A and B are shown apart, each in its own frame.
Chain A
Amino acid sequence: MKKYDAVIIGGGIIGSSIAYYLTEAGLKVALIEKKDLASGTSSSCDGNVLIADKQPGFDTELAYCSQQIFDNLSEELNRDFDYTQRGSIYLIESKEEWETAEKFVNKQRENGYSMRMMDYDRVHEDEPLLADDIIGGIEIDSDASIYPMALVYSLAEKAIKNGLHVYNYTEVVDISLNKGKRVKSVRLSNSEKIYCDNVINAAGVWAPLIGKMVGINIPIKPRQGQMLVAEKTFQIGKRKIVEFGYMMAKFGEKDYSRKVHEVIDKNGIAFVFEPTQANNFLIGSSRRFVGYDTRLSLDVMRGLAARAMRFFPVLKDINVIRGYSGLRPYVADHFPIVSAVDSIKGYYIAAGHEGDGIGLAPVTGKIIQNFITDSSWDLSIDKDETISKLSFSRLRD
């Protein structure tokens, strides 16, 4: 009879991070993944480790806490995952955006975060290939990028060294509870049955299916995001560059509208530029609710290209070599669910990070480690606030 302290369902960035932190704490852990590691959302995203796109308060504190852990991780893990702390820039197109941006920056600075407004000269000096009419920017120092797939393998490989058992190309068929409504065992598609004290649902956009196995309704919806990959080229931009309108698109600000083509507006397209360690760059981003459909929309691709040229006209003669799309696990209040489930002992959810899963993976792993082991709370965020803001019960009506 196989018996584990914890079974993690989902081999993406969240599941791997949890596997790493639980095995570091000495637990006996298995990870179940229906395909290969990093085969879902974690390989169809970008590598953001940002506080730039977070709202002041807990949202930023959580992301900042995770950023700090990345520093340690790059030393603790053996496989290089291209961690580069270049900082990021928000681009400002209008006076209206400038005013909102200034309020945002002042608030974040009051809270101790290292960022500042960039005037016209400063932003154009920093990024000489920018369109002439960009009026300014925000500079955020702590932001970083990673290569997400490498981080998944890196975390998993270290966890395997620590004793993790990975079942890849294996699905969970069924979760059994005992009479006290406590997690007892998990049945797998290879017809094995494994016993465990805890189950962690880290299945991202597929988390609702794993929720159904124990009769709970997890309100996560797949939200499709498309990206473009450009050829290797000369340096376009030095850092992570985002249009200020991205935040508006992310949080669905109703009374804010950009002067953009209907196709761009309708598909939540906002300019995101990410230079990679492979010397090419990625262009995002879009947000659409189309169920679990990952097919590319040509309209969205055209919108992404157009929006990118609006900020960097020099792109016009550069080649796009590929488009890709991924499903982001969306939760209505934009916070992930990292939580125990009151009605089922030993069942945890760690999913719903939408576009923040890469950046929040380390802190998510640490929080689950804290829930399951008796380790003391060693994170910079407040424990009670974390539990309540990320709780599953907050989403029940």
Chain B
Amino acid sequence: MKDNVIICRCEEITLGEIKSEIKKGARSVTDIKRRTRAGMGLCQGRSCEILIQRIICEELNLSPEEVYPANDRAPVRPIKFNILGAELNEKV
């Protein structure tokens, strides 16, 4: 696969950028996220997380169990401010 292939579509992060950060010491999906912003966009890594995990495995010759996935954090899906905060937003 060519280095200019986009892996994270939300943030437009390429394979080359990901490989370069692995060379600099990144070892987990979250390490890549912090270093490149891959997985920080609207889909929160739902599309690219597995790909990134595989790239790390291939580059460092590790098995998938040895590569930490990203932390799951609420909300599971995008949620509007109004739905999240409505109850506490009433005038007191």
Are B85's CB and A304's CB within 8 A? yes
Select the stretch in B1-9, B47-55, B72-80 that faces chain A. Answer: B72-80
Q: Which residue of the partner chain A has the closest CB to B90?
A: A261
* In the bound complex, CA of A157 to CA of B21 (Å): 11
Q: How far is the CB of B10 from chain A (nearest CB, A)?
A: 9
Interface string of B37-80 (1 = CB under 8 A from A): 10011101000000000000000000000000000011100111
Q: Is the CB of B80 within 8 A of A317?
A: yes
Question: Which of A36, A149, A318 is within 8 Å of B25, CB to CB?
Answer: A36
Q: Is the CB of B34 within 8 A of A316?
A: no
Least Cβ distance of A283 to chain B in Å? 8
Chain B residues with CB below 8 A from A302, complex form = 84-85, 87-88
> Does A149 contact B35, Cβ atoms closer than 8 Å?
yes
Decide: A303 and B85 in contact? CB cutoff 8 A: yes
B-contacting 9-mer, from A107-115, A306-314, A335-343, A381-389: A306-314
What class of interface size applies to chain A in its complex with B? 35 or more
A152, closest chain B residue (CB): B34
CA distance A278 to B89 in the complex (A): 28
- Is A324 in contact with chain B by the CB < 8 A criterion? yes
SS class, residues of chain B in contact with chain A:
loop
> Number of B interface residues, CB 8 Å?
31
A264 to B87 CA separation, bound complex (whole angstroms): 12
**Nearest CB in chain B: distance from A304 CB, A:** 7
Does A298 lie within 8 Å of B74, measured CB to CB? yes
CA distance A169 to B62 in the complex (A): 15
The reply to whether B82 and A316 form a contact with Cβ atoms under 8 Å apart is yes
Residue of B28, B30, B74 ringed by the most chain A CB atoms within 10 A: B74
A-B contact count (CB 8 A): 104
CB atoms of B85 and A166 under 8 A apart: no
Contacts of A318 in B (CB 8 A): 80-81
Q: How far is the CB of B39 from chain A (nearest CB, A)?
A: 10
**A322: chain B residues within 8 A (beta carbon):** 44, 73-75
Which of A260, A278, A296, A319 makes the CB contact (< 8 A) with B74? Answer: A296
- Cβ–Cβ < 8 Å partners of B35 in chain A: 149, 153
Task: List A260-292 residues whose CB lies under 8 Å from chain B.
Answer: 260-261, 263-264, 278
What residues on B are CB-neighbors of A264 within 8 Å? 88
Contact residue among B11, B31, B85, B90 (Cβ-Cβ distance under 8 Å from A305): B85
**A296–B73 contact, CB under 8 A?**
yes
The answer to whether A80 has its CB under 8 Å from any CB of chain B is no
Task: Evaluate whether A306 and B85 lie within 8 angstroms (CB atoms) in the complex, with A260-B92, A278-B11, A320-B79 already known.
Answer: yes
- Find the B residue at minimum CB distance from A283: B81
Q: Which residues of B contact A308 (CB under 8 A)?
A: 81, 85
Contacts of A307 in B (CB 8 A): 85, 88
Q: Does any Cβ of A come within 8 Å of B15's Cβ?
A: no
Bound form: Cα–Cα A231–B25 in Å: 29
The segment from A18-26, A37-45, A54-62, A212-220 found at the interface with B is A37-45
- Evaluate contact between A316 and B81: CB separation under 8 angstroms: yes
Q: CB-nearest residue of chain A relative to B84? A: A305
Q: How far in angstroms is the closest Cβ of chain B from A160? A: 9
Contact indicator B82/A321 (Cβ below 8 Å): no
Complexed CA–CA distance, A231 and B77 (Å)? 12
Whether B80 contacts A37 by the Cβ 8 Å rule is no
Q: A168-B25, A261-B92, A321-B44 are in contact. Are A278 and B84 (CB under 8 A)?
A: no
Query: What chain A residues lie within 8 Å of B89 (beta carbons)?
Result: 305-306, 309-310
7 smallest CB-CB distances across A and B, nearest first, come from A305-B85, A306-B85, A306-B88, A316-B82, A319-B78, A305-B84, A306-B89
Mind listing 20 A-B residue pairs with CB under 8 Å?
A: A35-B31, A38-B34, A39-B30, A39-B34, A149-B34, A153-B24, A231-B78, A232-B41, A259-B92, A261-B92, A301-B84, A303-B85, A305-B82, A305-B84, A307-B88, A308-B85, A316-B82, A319-B78, A320-B78, A320-B81
5 more CB-based (< 8 A) A-B contacts, given A36-B34, A39-B31, A305-B84: A302-B84, A305-B88, A320-B80, A321-B78, A324-B73
